[in-house]
């Protein structure tokens, strides 16, 4: 079983839609969870970071961790064409090592 | 500007010809790491370094070498590249500590023919 699983998409939505991106992870001991955004021909950039369970909000973005089901979610409200990118979930497995999902490609059409 | 700089951005080479991809960061980070990104497989860690002269294998280290002689630099060496090392490579750095986010470079696209 992979440590982190993510649907590769692509996910196509119209501008203004609410987007839900999801990952599952295998080890209940994981505590640090991240979402990275990767534009074409660029490196991943950190979007959201959460520790343990709960929600974290930053503008139009909300990250949610449900440790009971080992589920990580990223919600994007009022999606914009500039949000079109690949979104990578990641868990810190210890000693700074990040294990990434394969990424979900999001396309927001005007 | 705080950044991780990789060179070159694009590289085409032939099987067996040794090459080095350089990585430099200006944030005084202790931790540095190399990842490769392949379709359907995502980002996989090749090697990492917790500090100067301290390096260790990641999940896919075969065919690669690294060194960490200075805090800011972490080159990736392919002694005898093979076609299965054709990939997109990323260097990343962060402060020590599990809650420190990784900062990535913009990648090196390597093609081995």
What pLDDT, in 10s, does the model give residues A36-56?
999 998 999 999 988 888 889
State the average pLDDT over residues B41-48.
94
Residue B15 pLDDT level (bands cut at 50, 70, 90): very high
Cβ distance of A95 and B50 shorter than 8 Å: yes
Q: Which token pair is B54?
A: 């301290």
CA distance A100 to A48: 14
**Residue in chain B nearest A35 by alpha carbon:** B101
What is the predicted pLDDT for the residue at B92? 96
Query: Which of the pair, B8 or A98, is modelled with greater confidence?
Result: B8
Residue B99 has pLDDT above 80, yes or no: no
CB of A42 within 8 Å of any CB in chain B? yes
- Helices (H) then strands (E): counts for chain B: 0, 11
Total length of chain B: 113
Cβ distance of A102 and B40 shorter than 8 Å: yes
What is the predicted pLDDT for the residue at B1? 83
How would you classify the pairing of strands A104-109 and A11-14? parallel
- Shortest distance between the Cα of A96 and any Cα of chain B, in A, equals 5
State the average pLDDT over residues A61-72.
94
CB of B90 within 8 Å of any CB in chain A? yes
Q: Which token pair is B103?
A: 């900062």
Residue B34: closest CA among B67, B76, B96: B76
**Percent of chain B with pLDDT strictly greater than 90:** 88
Q: Is-contact A25 A101, C-beta < 8 A?
A: no
CA dihedral sign of residues A75, A81, A82, A88: positive
Continuous segment of H or E residues that includes residue A37: strand A32-38
Residues 6+ apart with CB under 8 A from B68: B32, B49, B51, B52, B53, B54, B55, B74
- The region of weakest confidence among A41-55, A65-79, B7-21, B40-54 is A41-55
Which chain B residues have a beta carbon less than 8 Å from that of A43?
4, 90, 92, 104-107
What is the predicted pLDDT for the residue at A83? 97
State the average pLDDT over residues A85-100.
90
What Cα–Cα distance (Å) separates residue B98 from each residue in A53, A92, B71, B95?
A: 16, 7, 19, 9
**Residue in chain A nearest B98 by alpha carbon:** A96
Q: Is-contact A86 A105, C-beta < 8 A?
A: yes
Residue B40 pLDDT level (bands cut at 50, 70, 90): confident
What is the predicted pLDDT for the residue at B19? 97
What is the predicted pLDDT for the residue at B17? 97
State the average pLDDT over residues B92-106.
87
State the average pLDDT over residues B10-23.
97
Residue A65 has pLDDT above 90, yes or no: yes
Beta bridge partners of B104: B92
Q: If phi over 0 gives left and psi between -120 and 50 gives alpha, with beta otherwise, what is residue B14? A: beta
Instruction: Please provide the average confidence, as pLDDT, over all residues in chain B.
Output: 95
């Amino acid at each position: 079983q992979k440590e982190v699983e993510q649907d590769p998409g692509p996910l196509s939505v119209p501008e203004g839609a609410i987007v839900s991106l999801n990952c599952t992870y295998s080890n209940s001991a994981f505590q640090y969870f991240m979402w990275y955004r990767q534009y074409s021909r660029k490196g991943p950039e950190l979007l959201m970071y959460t520790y343990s369970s709960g929600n974290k909000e930053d503008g139009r973005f909300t990250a949610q961790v449900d440790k009971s089901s080992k589920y990580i979610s990223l919600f994007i409200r009022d999606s914009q064409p500039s949000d079109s990118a690949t979104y990578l979930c990641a868990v810190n497995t210890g000693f700074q090592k990040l294990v990434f999902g394969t990424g979900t490609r999001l396309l927001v059409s005007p | 500007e705080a950044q991780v700089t990789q060179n070159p951005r694009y590289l085409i080479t032939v099987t067996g010809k040794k090459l080095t991809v350089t990585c430099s960061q200006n944030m005084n980070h202790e931790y540095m790491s190399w990842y490769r990104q392949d379709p359907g497989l995502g980002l996989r860690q090749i090697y990492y370094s917790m500090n100067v002269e301290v390096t260790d294998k990641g999940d896919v280290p075969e065919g690669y070498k690294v060194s960490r002689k200075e805090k800011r630099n972490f080159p990736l060496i392919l002694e005898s590249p093979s076609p299965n090392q054709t990939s997109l490579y990323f260097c990343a750095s962060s402060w020590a500590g599990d809650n420190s986010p990784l900062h990535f470079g913009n990648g090196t696209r390597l093609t081995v023919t």
